[in-house]
């Protein structure tokens, strides 16, 4: 360190040293980092248990230095339910992508929310199946090209993209729903605040908390990281608006 | 007078996505396109130490937590 | 010591689970198993366990994974179609080595089938059931008393080997009422340093996974699992013999059909036919060595496997006998329970031929 300077930001110690396998510019990595910053700030490393999905973030347990379980595809909400019911005093999160949470696992998502399972969903919505090579997701935008919608998503064939925040905010048992992004430093800071609030509400026992990260997938979208930010702003946010959909009344 | 800072970017930790470069408000960062790290990736570095304002935008946006930020003690 | 009661098989199983220190039950109603979840729901306020009616068997088995992985003593129960739905989760549980207990109160299949008792899930239970190379420890009760005893044993073995265990029962044992002696409740204190209960200071985090993307690592994991299965095969085989010492004909039968076959043995003896019954109690690990020993006895003429299916365990009997003696099969399917007389007739027919 240079003389006369002080350290003001460094990688959170709750993030393991292992190099993340994510592609350059991927918000999975950003979200991991922000979550682990929150874990460090709240001092809950010994109290938190995570569930990771099948998808690009299948190896999340390699990066987050907290106890974790790897779930079958789509079942993270059920696994998180089992953990939280056994340990109501612990903080539990499920970390899921759009295929996991909104396609194969939507039943588990909806029922966990309807029961008000007191854990936090971290939902990475990048509108594509990244790990398997860029196939259509339930959140792929209308007209968006993927390897299984090579002429663009046709709503007549595939329906319209699912708006999960809008859906889960309908449940009385869901305490807090916010859609965030990491496309700018300001939004990344907001995302971190949202994650922190979700964990805090969970610690207060207020019910399900649901943070959707409107994410990118430069590799799957076949663009540069910088271009992926443009796509988010121009195409994704108009359909998936950022903001708070629901929050506890007293706040 | 704006705060004065400087950043350290881990050469091996950087994947060259360039998100720090485009989000630096004072244009102090760039991608070293002439060199690669051991993963074969270009990496970001600080071009202009004098203009860093320690805003941490680069560190916040960096997906891989490759950036450490320091601020001049006042 | 204990308490004697007249109970239905499913309710006895539920009561036994409570007494064995059940901490979490996740399940979905299905006939002929629903009394388990109903009983646990009724008794819940008096105890400390968590009961959750899941939205599906798919969710239930994954809740079991989460809760068992977090160190709790957990159980689910279902019947055949539901057990098929659980297979994916069981495969993950077997690989991640999460101790937990299943009970399949089998009904006739395939498909939606019938709600009448059957043994047609033998293959599914004993050969793994889902994808990949694995086994569950499979206990086959043939009385309401054993529905109780096998719950205790199943939990114990699950913990001992960090493995899923199961009761392969059926609709008749689940539904019938018998006198049972209920053991004293135990205070369960899990000792599971591997469980995900929050990272311990100064220790590596715990994580549970079944993902080993490098084939060398996946093979290593398989070798580890196979070594465990071998240990279980060496140490945990359980069986029961009835009048086999001088028997010329050996009936092999498990679960409900073994009880009926016992009566057939007595009837055969009265008719002057030296028949004995060999009953595997653990259908995995299968008592193959013991059957091989019996097959080597000079006086033994043949084996006949009596099952309520199209002939499933008979394959394991044949493998164990290994050509030393003929192995026959008699069974009924689709929820039909064979009578002792019917079994005797099948034995006599083979004896004459």
CA distances in angstroms from A162 to A176, C61, C188, C290, listed in the order given: 19, 26, 45, 59
d(CA A51, CA C192): 19
CATH number at residue C317: 3.40.50.920
Per-residue tens of pLDDT for chain C, all 353 residues: 579 999 999 999 999 999 999 999 999 999 999 999 999 999 999 999 999 999 999 999 999 999 999 999 999 999 999 999 999 999 999 999 999 999 999 999 999 999 999 999 999 999 999 999 999 999 999 999 999 999 999 999 999 999 999 999 999 999 999 999 999 999 999 999 999 999 999 999 999 999 999 999 999 999 999 999 999 999 999 999 999 999 999 999 999 999 999 999 999 999 999 999 999 999 999 999 999 999 999 999 999 999 999 999 999 999 999 999 999 999 999 999 999 999 999 999 999 97
Residue A251 pLDDT exceeds 80: no
d(CA A220, CA C67): 35
Which pLDDT score, from 0 to 100, does residue B26 have?
A: 96
pLDDT per residue over C5-47, tens digit each? 999 999 999 999 999 999 999 999 999 999 999 999 999 999 9
Q: Which of C191, C216, C235 is the last residue of a domain?
A: C235
Q: Is C242 helix (H, G, I), strand (E, B) or coil?
A: strand
Where are the domains positioned within chain A?
27-246
Which pLDDT score, from 0 to 100, does residue C169 have?
A: 98
Backbone angles phi, psi at C331, to 5 degrees: -155, 165
Share the mean pLDDT of chain B. Answer: 95
C294-328 burial string, b = 16+ CB within 10 Å, else e?
bbeeeebebbbbbbbbebbbbbbbbebbeeebebb
A-C CB pairs within 8 A amount to: 130
Which pLDDT score, from 0 to 100, does residue B15 have?
A: 98
User: What H or E segment, with its residue span, contains residue C64?
Assistant: helix C57-69
pLDDT per residue over A198-209, tens digit each? 999 999 999 999
Please indicate whether, in this complex, the C-beta atoms of A29 and B64 are within 8 angstroms of each other.
yes
d(CA A171, CA B13): 42
Which pLDDT score, from 0 to 100, does residue C2 have?
A: 78
Q: Are residues C187 and C80 in the same domain?
A: yes
Among A4, A34, A190, A182, residue whose Cα is nearest residue B3: A4
Residue A190 pLDDT exceeds 90: yes
Which pLDDT score, from 0 to 100, does residue C230 have?
A: 98
What is the count of structural domains for chain C?
Answer: 2
Q: Are residues C197 and C256 in the same domain?
A: no
Which pLDDT score, from 0 to 100, does residue C1 have?
A: 59
Which residues of chain C does A59 touch, with a Cβ-Cβ cutoff of 8 Å? 211
CATH number at residue C35: 3.40.50.970
Q: Are residues C112 and C223 in the same domain?
A: yes
Q: Are residues C59 and C165 in the same domain?
A: yes
Q: Is C146 helix (H, G, I), strand (E, B) or coil?
A: helix
User: pLDDT band for position A250 (50/70/90)?
Assistant: low
Report the DSSP beta bridge partners of residue C55. none
Q: Which of C186, C203, C235 is the last residue of a domain?
A: C235
CA distances in angstroms from A68 to A61, A77, A94, A197, B28, listed in the order given: 6, 13, 10, 21, 39
Which pLDDT score, from 0 to 100, does residue B3 have?
A: 82
Residue A122 CB neighbour total at 10 angstroms: 29
Among C207, C179, C182, C211, residue whose Cα is nearest residue C194: C207
User: pLDDT band for position A52 (50/70/90)?
Assistant: very high
Alpha-helical regions (H) of C236-353: 255-270, 288-295, 313-321, 340-352
Among C252, C15, C261, residue whose Cα is nearest residue C145: C15
Range of the domain at C251: 239-352
User: pLDDT band for position A42 (50/70/90)?
Assistant: very high
d(CA A49, CA A159): 35
Which pLDDT score, from 0 to 100, does residue A3 have?
A: 85
Q: Are residues C226 and C247 in the same domain?
A: no
Which pLDDT score, from 0 to 100, does residue C317 have?
A: 98
pLDDT per residue over A146-185, tens digit each? 999 999 999 999 999 999 999 999 999 999 999 999 999 9
Say yes or no: C28 contacts chain A, CB-CB below 8 A. no
User: What H or E segment, with its residue span, contains residue A176?
Assistant: strand A174-181
Among A240, A233, A176, residue whose Cα is nearest residue A213: A240
Query: What is the C-alpha end-to-end distance of chain C, expressed in Å?
Result: 52
Alpha-helical regions (H) of chain A: 27-42, 60-63, 76-86, 98, 106-114, 155-158, 164-168, 185-203, 218-221, 225-231, 237-239
Chains in touch with B (3+ beta-carbon pairs under 8 Å) read A
C91-127 burial string, b = 16+ CB within 10 Å, else e?
bbbbbbbbbbbbbbbbbbbeeebbbbbbbbbbebbbe
What domains does chain B contain, in order, with CATH numbers?
Answer: 5-71 (3.30.70.20)
Torsion of CA A170, A176, A178, A182, to 10 degrees: -150
Mean pLDDT of A80-105: 98
Which pLDDT score, from 0 to 100, does residue B1 have?
A: 64
Please indicate whether, in this complex, the C-beta atoms of A78 and C54 are within 8 angstroms of each other.
yes
Say yes or no: C68 contacts chain A, CB-CB below 8 A. yes
Q: Are residues C223 and C336 in the same domain?
A: no
Identify whether the C-beta of residue C93 lies closer than 8 Å to the C-beta of residue C105. no
d(CA C330, CA C282): 21
Which pLDDT score, from 0 to 100, does residue A2 have?
A: 79
Take residue A221 and report the two structure tokens written for it.
Answer: 């979208």
**CA closest to A70 among chain C residues:** C209
In angstroms, the separation between the Cα of residue A65 and the nearest Cα of chain C is 6
Q: Are residues C79 and C136 in the same domain?
A: yes
Please indicate whether, in this complex, the C-beta atoms of A9 and B59 are within 8 angstroms of each other.
yes
Q: Are residues C207 and C277 in the same domain?
A: no
d(CA C75, CA C51): 10
Q: Are residues C226 and C248 in the same domain?
A: no
CATH of domain A27-246: 3.40.50.970
Please indicate whether, in this complex, the C-beta atoms of A26 and B63 are within 8 angstroms of each other.
yes
Which pLDDT score, from 0 to 100, does residue B67 have?
A: 98
Q: Are residues C133 and C217 in the same domain?
A: yes
Q: Point out the residue among A49, A75, A111 whose CB comes nearest to the CB of C70.
A: A49
Among B18, B55, B68, C204, residue whose Cα is nearest residue A11: B68
Please indicate whether, in this complex, the C-beta atoms of C62 and A108 are within 8 angstroms of each other.
yes
Which pLDDT score, from 0 to 100, does residue C224 have?
A: 98
Which residues of chain A does C207 touch, with a Cβ-Cβ cutoff of 8 Å? 61, 67-70
Q: For residue A22, say if its preceding peptide bond is cis, omega within 30 degrees of 0.
A: no
């Amino acid at each position: 360190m240079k003389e006369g300077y002080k350290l003001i930001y460094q990688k959170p110690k709750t993030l393991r040293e292992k190099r993340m396998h994510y592609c350059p510019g991927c918000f999975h990595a950003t979200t991991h980092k922000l979550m682990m910053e929150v874990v460090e700030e709240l001092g809950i490393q010994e109290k938190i248990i995570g569930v990771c999905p099948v998808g690009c973030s299948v190896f999340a347990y390699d990066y987050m230095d907290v106890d974790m379980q790897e779930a079958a595809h789509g079942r993270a909400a059920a696994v998180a339910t089992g953990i939280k019911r056994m340990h109501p005093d612990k903080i539990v999160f499920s970390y899921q992508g759009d295929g996991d949470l909104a396609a194969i696992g939507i039943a588990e998502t909806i029922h966990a929310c309807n029961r008000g399972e007191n854990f936090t969903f971290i939902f990475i919505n990048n509108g594509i199946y990244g790990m398997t090579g860029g196939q259509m997701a339930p959140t792929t935008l209308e007209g968006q090209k993927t390897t299984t919608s090579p002429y663009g998503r046709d709503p007549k064939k595939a329906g319209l993209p699912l708006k999960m925040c809008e859906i889960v905010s309908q449940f009385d048992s869901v305490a807090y729903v916010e859609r965030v992004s990491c496309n700018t430093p300001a939004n990344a800071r907001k995302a971190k605040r949202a994650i922190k609030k979700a964990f805090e509400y969970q610690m207060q026992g207020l019910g399900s908390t649901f943070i959707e990260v409107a994410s990118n997938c430069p590799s799957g979208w076949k663009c540069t990281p910088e271009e992926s930010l443009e796509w988010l702003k121009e195409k994704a946010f108009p359909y998936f608006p950022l903001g708070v959909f629901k929050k506890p009344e007293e706040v | 007078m704006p705060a004065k800072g400087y950043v350290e970017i881990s050469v091996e930790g950087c994947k060259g996505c360039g998100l720090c470069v485009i989000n630096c408000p004072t244009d102090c960062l760039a991608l070293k396109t002439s060199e690669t790290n051991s993963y074969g990736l270009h990496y970001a570095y600080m071009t202009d130490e004098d203009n860093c304002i320690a805003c941490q935008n680069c560190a916040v946006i960096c997906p891989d937590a490759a950036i450490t930020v320091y601020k001049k003690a006042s | 010591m204990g308490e004697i009661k007249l109970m239905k098989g499913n309710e006895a199983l539920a009561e036994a689970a409570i007494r064995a220190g059940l901490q979490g039950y996740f399940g979905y109603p299905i006939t002929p198993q629903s009394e388990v979840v109903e009983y646990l729901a009724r008794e819940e306020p008096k105890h400390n366990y968590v009961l959750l009616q899941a939205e599906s068997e798919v969710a239930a088995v994954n809740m079991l994974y989460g809760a068992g992985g977090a160190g709790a003593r957990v159980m689910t129960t279902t019947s055949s179609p539901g057990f098929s739905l659980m297979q994916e989760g069981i495969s993950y549980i077997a690989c991640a080595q999460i101790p937990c207990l299943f009970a399949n109160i089998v009904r006739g299949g395939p498909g939606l089938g019938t709600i009448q008792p059957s043994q047609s899930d033998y293959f599914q239970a004993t050969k793994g059931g889902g994808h990949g190379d694995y086994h569950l420890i499979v206990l086959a009760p043939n009385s309401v008393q054993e529905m109780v005893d096998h719950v205790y044993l199943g939990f114990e073995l699950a913990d001992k080997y960090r493995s899923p265990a199961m009761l392969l029962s059926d609709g008749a044992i689940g539904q019938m009422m018998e006198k049972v002696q209920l053991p004293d409740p135990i205070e369960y204190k899990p000792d599971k340093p591997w469980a995900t209960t929050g990272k311990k200071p100064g220790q590596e985090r715990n994580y549970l996974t079944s993902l080993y993307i490098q084939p060398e690592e996946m093979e290593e994991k398989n070798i580890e699992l196979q070594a465990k299965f071998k240990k279980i095969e060496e140490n945990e085989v359980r069986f029961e013999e009835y009048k086999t010492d001088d028997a010329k004909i050996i009936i092999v039968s498990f679960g409900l059909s073994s009880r009926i076959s016992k009566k057939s043995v007595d009837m055969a003896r009265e008719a002057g036919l030296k028949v004995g019954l060999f009953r595997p109690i653990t259908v995995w690990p299968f008592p193959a060595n013991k059957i091989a020993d019996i097959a080597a006895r000079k006086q033994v003429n043949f084996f006949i496997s009596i099952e309520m299916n199209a002939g499933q365990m008979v394959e394991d009997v044949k493998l164990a006998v290994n050509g030393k003696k003929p192995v026959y099969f008699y069974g009924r399917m689709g929820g039909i329970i064979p009578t002792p007389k019917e079994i005797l007739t099948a034995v006599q027919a083979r004896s004459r031929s």
